[in-house]
Structure 1
Amino acid sequence: MGADRVVIIGAGPAGLTAAYELQRRAPRSHPVVLEASRMVGGISRTEERDGYRFDIGGHRFFTKVPEVEAMWHEVLGADFITVSRMSRIYYRGRFYAYPLKVLNALWNIGLYEAGRILISYLKWQIWPHPKETNFEEWTINRFGGRLYMHFFRAYTEKVWGISPRRIQADWAAQRIKSLSLMKVIRNSVFGGTDATSLIERFQYPRLGPGMMWERVRDSVIGRGGEVRLGANVTRVLWSEDRVIAVGIGKDSVDGQPASEELVEGDQFINSMALRDLIEAFDPPPPDEVRDAAQRLRYRDFLIVALQLDQVDPFPDNWIYIHSPEVLVGRIQNFRAWSRDMVADESTASIGMEYFVNKGDRLWSMPDEELRGLAASEIEKLGLADAARITGFAVIRQEKAYPVYDAEYRDAVEVIRTWLQTLRNFQTAGRNGLHRYNNQDHSMLTAMLAVRNILGEENDLWTVNVERSYHEEFETKKVESGRRVQTV
Structure 2
Amino acid sequence: MNSYDNRLRLQPEAQSVAIIGGGPAGLTAAYCLQKHGSSHPIVLEESSQVGGIARTEVYKGYRFDIGGHRFFTKVKPVEKLWKEVLPNDFLRRPRMSRIYYRGKYFAYPLKMFNALNNMGIYESARIMLSYLKWKVRPHVEEENFEQWVTNRFGGRLFWHFFKAYTEKVWGIPCTSIRADWAAQRIQNLSLRKAVWNAISGSNDTASLIGAFDYPRLGPGMMWETFRDRVEEKGGEVRMNSRATRIYRDDHHVTAMEVTPNEEGAKPYRLEADQFISSMPISELILAMDPPAPAEVQVAARTLRYRDFLIVTLILKGEDLFPDNWIYVHSPEVEVGRIQNFRSWSEEMIPEPNRSSIGMEYFVNDTDTMWKTDNAVLIKQAAAELEHLGLAKASDVVDGTVIRQPKAYPVYDGDYQDALAIIRDWLGNFDNLQVVGRNGMHRYNNQDHSMLTAMLAVDNIYGAKNDLWAVNVERSYHEEFEIASDRDKAAEAAPAESNRPAQFAAA
State how far apart, in whole Å, the 2-side matches of 1:468 and 1:105 are.
Answer: 26
Q: What is the CA deviation profile of residues 121-165 of structure 1, one whole-angstrom value per residue up to 9, with x for unaligned ones? A: 000000000110000000001110001100000000000000010
1:47 counterpart = 2:57? yes
Q: What is the CA deviation profile of residues 58-102 of structure 1, one whole-angstrom value per residue up to 9, with x for unaligned ones? A: 001110000110111111111011110000000001000111111
Q: Match for 2:465 among 439, 455, 458?
A: 458
State how far apart, in whole Å, the 2-side matches of 1:192 and 1:63 are.
Answer: 19
2:242 corresponds in structure 1 to: 232
**Counterpart amino acid of 1:8?**
I
**Counterpart amino acid of 2:284?**
L
2:348 corresponds in structure 1 to: 341
* Comparing 27-36 and 293-302, the one that deviates more: 27-36
1:307 counterpart = 2:314? yes
Residues 76 and 491, structure 2, Cα contact 8 Å, conserved in 1? no
State how far apart, in whole Å, the 2-side matches of 1:2 and 1:372 are.
Answer: 59
2:21 corresponds in structure 1 to: 10
**Counterpart amino acid of 1:6?**
V
**Counterpart amino acid of 2:448?**
H
Q: Match for 1:141 among 151, 162, 165?
A: 151
Residues 15 and 33, structure 1, Cα contact 8 Å, conserved in 2? yes
Residues 241 and 261, structure 2, Cα contact 8 Å, conserved in 1? no
Structure 1 residue 438 displacement after superposition: 1.3
State how far apart, in whole Å, the 1-side matches of 2:110 and 2:284 are.
Answer: 41
**Counterpart amino acid of 2:452?**
T
1:80 corresponds in structure 2 to: 90
Distance change >3 Å, CA 474–CA 448, structure 1 → 2: closer
Structure 1 residue 472 displacement after superposition: 2.6
SS in 2 for 1:416: helix
Distance change >3 Å, CA 468–CA 294, structure 1 → 2: closer
1:291 counterpart = 2:301? no
SS in 2 for 1:331: strand
State how far apart, in whole Å, the 2-side matches of 1:312 and 1:76 are.
Answer: 29
**Counterpart amino acid of 1:23?**
Q
SS in 2 for 1:299: strand
1:107 counterpart = 2:117? yes
RMSD of equivalent CA atoms: 1.9
2:435 corresponds in structure 1 to: 428
State how far apart, in whole Å, the 1-side matches of 2:281 and 2:441 are.
Answer: 7
1:161 counterpart = 2:161? no
Residues 65 and 468, structure 1, Cα contact 8 Å, conserved in 2? no
SS in 2 for 1:305: strand
Distance change >3 Å, CA 421–CA 392, structure 1 → 2: same
Structure 1 residue 53 displacement after superposition: 0.5
Residues 75 and 491, structure 2, Cα contact 8 Å, conserved in 1? no
Q: Match for 2:289 among 274, 282, 294?
A: 282
State how far apart, in whole Å, the 1-side matches of 2:253 and 2:71 are.
Answer: 34
Q: Match for 1:470 among 468, 478, 485?
A: 478
Q: What is the CA deviation profile of residues 194-220 of structure 1, one whole-angstrom value per residue up to 9, with x for unaligned ones? A: 432211111010000000000000000
Q: Match for 2:195 among 176, 185, 189?
A: 185
Structure 1 residue 252 displacement after superposition: 6.2
State how far apart, in whole Å, the 1-side matches of 2:478 and 2:260 are.
Answer: 47
Q: What is the CA deviation profile of residues 215-251 of structure 1, one whole-angstrom value per residue up to 9, with x for unaligned ones? A: 0000000000000000011001110221111111136
Residues 240 and 261, structure 2, Cα contact 8 Å, conserved in 1? no
Q: TM-score, normalised by structure 1?
A: 0.95
Q: What is the CA deviation profile of residues 368-414 of structure 1, one whole-angstrom value per residue up to 9, with x for unaligned ones? A: 11011101100111111111111101000000000000000111110
Q: What is the CA deviation profile of residues 232-274 of structure 1, one whole-angstrom value per residue up to 9, with x for unaligned ones? A: 1100111022111111113667xxx973111111110000001
1:217 corresponds in structure 2 to: 227
Structure 1 residue 469 displacement after superposition: 6.3
Structure 1 residue 471 displacement after superposition: 3.2
1:273 corresponds in structure 2 to: 280
Q: Match for 2:271 among 244, 264, 271?
A: 264
Residues 178 and 194, structure 1, Cα contact 8 Å, conserved in 2? no
Q: What is the CA deviation profile of residues 142-190 of structure 1, one whole-angstrom value per residue up to 9, with x for unaligned ones? A: 1100011000000000000000100000000000111111110112222
2:205 corresponds in structure 1 to: 195
Distance change >3 Å, CA 79–CA 469, structure 1 → 2: farther
Residues 459 and 486, structure 1, Cα contact 8 Å, conserved in 2? no
State how far apart, in whole Å, the 2-side matches of 1:234 and 1:75 are.
Answer: 31
Residues 8 and 270, structure 1, Cα contact 8 Å, conserved in 2? yes
Aligned length: 476
Structure 1 residue 345 displacement after superposition: 3.4
Structure 1 residue 467 displacement after superposition: 4.4
Structure 1 residue 468 displacement after superposition: 8.6
SS in 2 for 1:57: coil
Percent identical residues:
58
1:351 counterpart = 2:358? yes
SS in 2 for 1:170: helix
Distance change >3 Å, CA 276–CA 119, structure 1 → 2: same
2:401 corresponds in structure 1 to: 394
1:478 corresponds in structure 2 to: none
2:7 corresponds in structure 1 to: none
Q: What is the CA deviation profile of residues 270-315 of structure 1, one whole-angstrom value per residue up to 9, with x for unaligned ones? A: 0000111111111101001000000000000000000011112111
State how far apart, in whole Å, the 2-side matches of 1:330 and 1:291 are.
Answer: 34
In the TM superposition, 1:353-432 aligns within 5 A as 353-432=360-439
2:252 corresponds in structure 1 to: 242
**Counterpart amino acid of 2:23?**
G
